[in-house]
Structure 1
Amino acid sequence: MTSRLLRSCGFAGAAALCTSAAYAGPDVIVGDLIDIQRYGAVSGITAYAVGTSSCNISTNNATDKLMWISSTFPGHPPANRNLHPVIAQNMYRLKDGRFEQVGMSWLKHGFTALTQNLCNTCQPPGSGSFLGIGCSDPYVASLNGSQGNLGPRSQVNANTGHFPAPFTAPPAPATIGRRLQVLTNDINPTLNPGALYYAEGQYVTQDDARAGNSLNNASYRRIQFASATSTPTFVGATSRQNPAIRAWFANDPTVVLINADYPEANTNFQVHPYPAAPPAPPANIVARYIVGAKVTDNGDGTWDYEYAVQNINSHRSGRGFSIPLACGVTVTEIGFHDVPYHSGEPYSGTDWAATQNSGFGGSITWNTETFAANPNANALRWSTLYNFRFTANAAPTTGTGSIELFRPENAPGEP
C-alpha cells in the first residue's frame, strides 16, 4: 500500500482540517499536573518525572467507567491485563519564537484507580480496577518516575490503546533510565534567557479510544527553572485537554494552528470485561496531528518560516512534511529538530533529510526512511513534536502542505 498524504489549505504547510464527533463512553483526561521530581543528571542529561491526576469526565451510564486493570493483578486473566492507561510525560521549550520538544519519558502503566473529585463528583465504581464516572485518580511524580513501572512507547498503538501485557524491556539505566530525559543545556536558564518551558501529560487507553474520545487526553502546564540543578516549579494552572503545542499560540497570537485529521482503520480491539456489553468498536478512529506555523519578516526581503507538527494519536506516524514554494524562491537556513528516544527504545535518531524541488509546482520536503526500508526509522510518532524551518526571499501566502504517513495500515506485527 502506498503511503497516504494528508493535505490542506489554511497556511503554507498545514494539513487536512477535519472535525471529530462527540461520543459517549469512557473519557479520560489529564485534570491536573500536580508535582515534579528531579532525579539527577548523567552525562549531560537530567531526569525528571511529572505527577498527573486523571479524570473520567464521562457523565453517561454504568458502562462508561474506565477500565484500570493492573498488568500484575491475579484477579484478572492475563488477556485483560493491558486494559489500563499508559501515561506519557513530555517537556517543551519556547525560545526565540520556536516551540520545540526537549524531552520525553517512557510510559507509566496504571495499576489502580482511586475515587477523588478533581473534575466532577465521583461515582465510586466499587473497585480499583475502574475509574468511575466523574472520578479522578492522582499519580504523584514519584509513581510516574518509578522505573520498574515505565514501559516502552514502541509497544503501544496510541490510536487503539492496545499493547502487550506485561511489557518487555531491557534493564533501566541508573538514575535517568526510562524517566523524562532532557539535555541539561536545554533547561539551563543561563544558556536559555527568556525561554518558557512546559510539561505535558497524556493518557492512552483502550476503552477511551474505542469510544472515540482519545483526542482530548493531553494537558500541559508551564514550569520554570531557577537553575540547571534545581527542581522546576509550576507557573499558573494546568491547561486541560490541550496538547502542549497550543501553548505556542497562547503565548504568540501570530502563530497559526490547524488540525490534520484522518480516519485510521483498526482491527485489534479486545473484548472488554464490562458489566454489560460495550458498544461495538468503530471501524475507524480519528487520528490527529496539530500543525503550527509562524512567519517572521526579517525586514531585509527575507522571511523566517517555522513549523511544528505534533502527533497526538496517529499510530501510522509521519515520515514526510512538505511545504509548497513558488517558482524562483530561494531557500536558505534549512533546519530540523526532533526529540531523542532513549533507554533502549529501538528507534533511529537520524535527522530527516530536506530536499528542494525548484520551478513551477516546487516545494521543500523533509523525509525519513520508508517503513519498508526501516520499520524503526525516525518517524514522527505519537506524543512527539518535530520542527521544520527555513528562510526564504518570499512573503507568506496561503498554500497547501502535506504530511506523508509512515506505516501501512494494519502492518503485520504491530501492537
Structure 2
Amino acid sequence: MVCKVDQIFHSRGVYACSFLHHWPISAMPKHARALSDRYLLRPIGLLFGTLSMLSAPLLAADFGEYRSDGGRIALELRADYLKDFGVEVRAGMQVLGERHLHHSRLRGEFRAHLSSARFGRFSGGRLYFTSDLSLGYDGAWLSLEELTLSAGADTRRPSIAAAVAGGDVLLELTHLHTNLAPEGRELVIDHADVVATPALARRIGYPALAGQVLGSARLVLDVADFEPVEQVLTSRGAAACEGRPYWPQDGHRADIALTGIDGVQYQGRDSGRVKLAPSAWLKNLGEADVPWIAKFEENAVYPYAPNDQHPYLVWSLYRLHEGRIEQLGVSGAKHAFNTVNLNCDLICDYFEVNSNNGDVLGPGCEDVYGASTNDMNSAMGPRGEIVASQGGFSSTNSFFDQNGDGMQDHDSGEYENRLLVDESELSNQGARYFIDAWYLVQCDADISNSMGYVEIDPQMVGDGWTFDLLSSFEQGSAINLWVYEGSEQSLEHHERFEVASSTPDAGCPEGMPQGHARLAVRVEQLSDDRYVYRYALVNHDIDRGINRFVLPGVDGSRIDGLASPEGGWSSSVVDSCRLQFQTSDEALDWGQVRNFELISDFAPRSGHARIHLVGPSPPQSVAVETLVPDDQSLLFCDRFDSPAN
C-alpha cells in the first residue's frame, strides 16, 4: 500500500492514509486566524527553567526528537488582586498595581519528542530566564530573577516546579495546555496557573499565600528542523480508530464527566463584591468524539452547524446555614476553546492532524482548565446566549460579535459575567460554603456526572479572600449537600425530574429533553409541634424557565411564617387549599436555585407539587413528588394532589 501522506495509523489490522495539513498563520481562514491571534500569539504567562516532563498518552517511539535553541516567555502577574493581600509586585523599582505582562527571551537548549501535531514529552535540556520581577510583603522582597524548572511528580496531571538555587521550589505551574503550532515550528505551553508554594510563602513571611494563584504562564519554544514523523498509532483500549470520528449527532453516546475541582481562587473585589473561580478537570466517558471547537473557529472535519461547537463551564456558590441551602452567586458561561487530550484510551489521526490540534476530545481523554483560564475576559460570556438543554450557541451576532461579521470584536469586562458575591455573605457564623461547577456539553447523555462540588473555607486575609478546600470532590448536583438524592429519611425528600422533548425522534440535539430540574424539601418539627417546610427548587437546564411553584393542602388560615423567595416572586393561597409562589418577570432561569418556606400545623405526608413552565408550549406544568402538609380536610381539594392534575 502506497500512501502519498505524512502519517500512517493502524487500527485492528487496517492501514489507512491521512493527509497532514500545514497552515501558516497568514494562510489560515479568517476565523482561525482571528482565534490564533487571540489565543496563540497573545502571551499571557510565563515558563522558565529546566524541562523534563512526560506526557502520558503516547510513547516516545511514536515521536521524533527535536531540539530548540530557545524561545520567548511572558509572565502575567496579577498585581490587581495580589495587592488586596498586601503583596506587592515590582518590576525593577516600580511597584505595580494592575495586571502586569513581562516579556523576555529564553536562552539555552531543550529537546522534546513531537509528532505531526502533538507534543509528546520533554527529553532533556536546560533553559534560562531572567527578569527584574520581585514580590514583596511587609517590607521583605523576594526576587524572581532566576528560577529552574523541573517536572512535577504526577505525570497524569502534568505540572512544573520552579526552584531557586539551593533547591526551594517557589512556584508550581499547573493545569498546562500544550500544543504544537501550525507547521510545527513552535511548541506552545499555555494557560498555566502560577501557584505560590509553602516555601515561597515562608520566604516572604506570609503563610496564607501558599496555594494562591499569582498569575498565568506561557512559553513559546522554537522547534528546529521540524519534519512530520511517520508513525503508527494504535488503540489503547477497547475502542479503535476505524470509522471514526464518531459524532454524537450520528447516534453515538456522548458522556462528559467532571472529575475534579482542585482549587478555588480569589480574583479581585469590586464595590464589596468578591470574584472567584475554580479550576476543573473532566473526562470523556462516552464512545463519541466530542467537538471542542473554539467560537469563531472553522473545522473541516466536524460536519454539523454551527461549526464552532464547544462545551461551556459554569459555576455557583452555595451556603448551608440554619437548615437552608442558599445559592449566593452564579458565574457567566466560560466558553471552552482547546482540549489537551491527556491520558487518552484512544489516539487517532483525526484529532491529531485534521482538527487544528485541540478541536476534539477523544474517548477516554481528559482535559483541564485552571482558575486563570476561567477568568479570561475573551472567554467569559452571558449565560442567556446558551441553549442549555441542547448545549448550543451561535457565535455570530452574539455578545462576542456585536457588529455581526462573524468575528470576535468584544470581550467581557473584569467583573462582567463572573461569579460575584457580597463579602457580607461569606462570614456567617456556623455556615458551611460550597462551590460547584458544571460542563454543559451538546448531546450529553448524563448531565448529573458533568457537575460536582467541594466544600470551601472562605477566610478574609487582609483585603483579599482565600478559599481553601475542606472536602474531596463529589460528583453530582450540589443540592445533594442539603438532601441527598435517594434519601430515605422521613422528614426529607429529593426528586429529580425531566421535561420531555416535544420532538423526541429528532435525534441529537433537537430531540434532547426540554430540560432537567430537582425539587428537594426538608421538614423540621418545632418545639411547639408545628412544622417548618423548606423547599429548594433547582432548574438545571430548562431554557423556558419556571414561573410558578404550587403546593396542595395548604389553607391560608393554617400557615404561619410564610417566606417568599427574593427576585420578584409573590405568594398567595388559591381556592383556600393551594399555596402558590409565582412571578411575572423573574422566572427561575437555568442553573439557578430558589428557596420557599412555610410553617404549618400539620406533619408531612407524600404528595405532589406542581411546577409551571414559562410559555404556552406543552407541557405547561409538571407534577413532582415531594412532602406536603397532611391536612386531611384539604386532601382532595380540586383533585390537585394527583400527578394527573
Unaligned residue ranges in structure 2 (runs of 5+): 1-250, 403-409, 619-645
Deviations 1:85-131 (A, max 9, x none): 011111111101100110101000010111123xx746464241011
Match of 2:483 in 1: 249
1:299 paired with 2:299, answer no
1:168 paired with 2:407, answer no
- Offset of residue 259 of structure 1: 1.1
Q: Describe the shift of the 1:383–1:82 C-alpha distance in structure 2 as closer, same or farther (beyond 3 A).
A: farther
1:288 paired with 2:288, answer no
Match of 2:372 in 1: 142
Match of 1:180 among 419, 424, 449: 419
Q: Describe the shift of the 1:320–1:327 C-alpha distance in structure 2 as closer, same or farther (beyond 3 A).
A: closer
Contact 1:329 1:392 in 2 (8 A): no
Paired residue total: 347
Matched letter for residue 135 of structure 1: C
- Offset of residue 203 of structure 1: 1.3
Supply the distance in 2 between the matched residues of 1:43 and 1:266 (Cα, whole angstroms): 46
Supply the distance in 2 between the matched residues of 1:172 and 1:72 (Cα, whole angstroms): 13
1:379 paired with 2:623, answer no
Identity %: 24
Contact 1:68 1:111 in 2 (8 A): yes
- Is the partner of 2:473 in helix, strand or coil? strand
Unaligned residue ranges in structure 1 (runs of 5+): 1-22, 270-278, 339-349, 370-376, 411-415
Supply the distance in 1 between the matched residues of 2:414 and 2:572 (Cα, whole angstroms): 40
- Superposition pairs for residues 175-214 of structure 1, below 5 Å? 175-188=414-427, 192-208=428-444, 212-214=445-447
Matched letter for residue 352 of structure 1: W
Matched letter for residue 109 of structure 1: H
Supply the distance in 2 between the matched residues of 1:284 and 1:177 (Cα, whole angstroms): 30
Supply the distance in 2 between the matched residues of 1:265 and 1:147 (Cα, whole angstroms): 37
Supply the distance in 2 between the matched residues of 1:173 and 1:151 (Cα, whole angstroms): 7
Match of 1:365 among 580, 605, 619: 580
- Offset of residue 326 of structure 1: 4.5
Supply the distance in 2 between the matched residues of 1:202 and 1:408 (Cα, whole angstroms): 29
Contact 2:555 2:578 in 1 (8 A): no
1:334 paired with 2:562, answer yes
Match of 1:319 among 529, 547, 556: 547
Match of 1:390 among 598, 613, 624: 598
Supply the distance in 1 between the matched residues of 2:538 and 2:556 (Cα, whole angstroms): 30
1:353 paired with 2:570, answer yes
Structure having the higher Rg: 2
Matched letter for residue 416 of structure 2: G
- Is the partner of 2:497 in helix, strand or coil? strand
Supply the distance in 1 between the matched residues of 2:291 and 2:335 (Cα, whole angstroms): 13
Contact 1:35 1:51 in 2 (8 A): yes
- Superposition pairs for residues 113-152 of structure 1, below 5 Å? 113-117=339-343, 121=345, 123=347, 125-126=351-352, 127-152=357-382
- Is the partner of 1:128 in helix, strand or coil? coil
Question: Does 23-32 or 179-188 show the bigger shift?
Answer: 23-32
Supply the distance in 2 between the matched residues of 1:50 and 1:407 (Cα, whole angstroms): 35
Q: Describe the shift of the 1:174–1:330 C-alpha distance in structure 2 as closer, same or farther (beyond 3 A).
A: same
Matched letter for residue 613 of structure 2: L
- Offset of residue 288 of structure 1: 1.5
Matched letter for residue 176 of structure 1: Y
Supply the distance in 1 between the matched residues of 2:328 and 2:540 (Cα, whole angstroms): 17
Supply the distance in 2 between the matched residues of 1:24 and 1:79 (Cα, whole angstroms): 17
Q: Describe the shift of the 1:24–1:298 C-alpha distance in structure 2 as closer, same or farther (beyond 3 A).
A: farther
Q: Describe the shift of the 1:298–1:234 C-alpha distance in structure 2 as closer, same or farther (beyond 3 A).
A: same
Supply the distance in 2 between the matched residues of 1:206 and 1:183 (Cα, whole angstroms): 33
Match of 1:14 in 2: none
Match of 2:190 in 1: none
- Is the partner of 1:314 in helix, strand or coil? coil
Match of 1:344 in 2: none
Match of 2:262 among 34, 41, 44: 34
Matched letter for residue 351 of structure 1: G
Which structure is higher in RCO with an 8 Å CA cutoff and minimum separation 6?
1
Supply the distance in 1 between the matched residues of 2:549 and 2:555 (Cα, whole angstroms): 19
Matched letter for residue 98 of structure 1: R
Match of 1:217 in 2: 450
RMSD across aligned positions (CA): 2.9
- Offset of residue 393 of structure 1: 2.0
Supply the distance in 1 between the matched residues of 2:269 and 2:366 (Cα, whole angstroms): 33
Matched letter for residue 465 of structure 2: S
Deviations 1:247-279 (A, max 9, x none): 112599653211122203369x8xxxxxxxxx7
Match of 1:258 in 2: 495
Q: Describe the shift of the 1:230–1:284 C-alpha distance in structure 2 as closer, same or farther (beyond 3 A).
A: closer
Give the structure-2-normalised TM-score.
Answer: 0.50
